[in-house]
């Protein structure tokens, strides 16, 4: 699918390729969610997909081109080197994932995010030059496990155990200001946001008072957060 790539660009694929642009290769569940979210956030996005059916499906919603990104010539032809960030959403074919990532490395892409389906796959991607490797299935499983097993309403592990959670306030914090609760000294976690019913989240300040009906956004190490969330 190298020749005549330009003829297969969707009518919406008129993006301004710049240092801020993001190239998303592969429109499975992960890649399509990435591309559509970035597009909604106002980022310049160009999606690349080899399946004519998927290209047709997304052509009215995304700037998209039908091309085989395992071919260096195809990536060159669609202007891939003009993008400073690329996301490789191909995961089911390890060979295709590695070839596409390698092609982007050869093009000098400044930031390459690549999806991996196993630890071995992730190590290979890192070895050939991917700057960031993500494990969507494993990360989702880890997140859901924490939600199911405790009192957390949402759970995001940022890196190396540092985590941000959404939770109900423990009884001992209700009716007190954040300064009065001393949760940092007692539990080693930090309340960074508070949401009252019908209101937006606000950044937590020492004088912010916590009500029983509030939601808290709390950061810290996952073990410490689990301990804090387990309080009655």
Per-residue pLDDT reduced to its tens digit, 103-141: 999 999 999 999 999 999 999 999 999 999 988 877 777
pLDDT at 226: 87
Cα atoms in the 13 Å half-sphere on the side-chain side of 164? 6
pLDDT value for 20: 55
CATH number, domain 146-229: 3.30.70.1450
Q: pLDDT tens digits, residue range 5-44?
A: 433 444 344 444 445 589 999 999 999 999 999 988 888 9
Same fold, 5-137 and 146-229: no
Q: Quickly tell me which residue has 């808290």 as its tokens.
A: 216
Stretch 48-67: mean pLDDT:
95
**Rounded CA separation 91/38 (Å):** 20
Q: What backbone torsions phi and psi does residue 95 show, to the nearest 5 degrees?
A: -60, -45
SS (H, E, C) 35-75: HHHHHHCCCCEEEEECCHHHHHHHCCCCCEEECCCCCHHHH
For 27, residues 6+ apart whose C-beta sits below 8 A from its C-beta are 35, 47, 49, 51, 54, 58, 62, 64, 89
Q: Residue 143 pLDDT more than 80?
A: no
What is 5-137's CATH superfamily?
NAD(P)-binding Rossmann-like Domain (3.40.50.720)
**All structural domains of the chain with their residue ranges:** 5-137, 146-229
């Amino acid at each position: 699918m190298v020749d005549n790539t330009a003829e297969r660009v969707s009518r919406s694929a008129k993006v301004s390729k710049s240092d801020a642009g993001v190239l998303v290769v592969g429109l499975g569940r992960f890649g399509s969610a990435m591309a559509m979210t970035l597009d909604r956030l106002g980022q310049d996005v160009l999606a690349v997909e080899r399946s004519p059916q998927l290209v047709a499906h997304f052509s009215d919603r995304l700037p998209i081109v039908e091309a085989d990104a395992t071919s260096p010539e195809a990536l060159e032809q669609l202007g891939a080197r003009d993008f400073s960030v690329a996301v490789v959403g191909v995961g089911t074919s390890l060979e295709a994932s590695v070839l596409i990532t390698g092609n982007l490395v050869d093009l000098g892409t400044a930031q390459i995010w690549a999806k991996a389906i196993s630890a071995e796959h992730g190590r290979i991607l890192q070895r050939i030059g991917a700057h960031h490797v993500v494990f969507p299935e494993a990360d989702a499983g880890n997140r859901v496990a924490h939600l199911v097993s405790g009192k957390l309403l949402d759970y995001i592990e940022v890196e190396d155990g540092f985590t941000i959670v959404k939770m109900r306030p423990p009884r001992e914090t209700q009716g007190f200001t954040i300064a009065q609760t001393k949760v940092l000294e007692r539990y080693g976690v930090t309340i960074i946001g508070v949401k009252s019913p019908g209101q937006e989240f606000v950044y937590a300040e020492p004088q912010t008072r916590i009500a029983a009906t509030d939601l808290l956004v709390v950061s810290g190490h996952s073990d410490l957060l689990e301990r804090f969330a387990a309080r009655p």
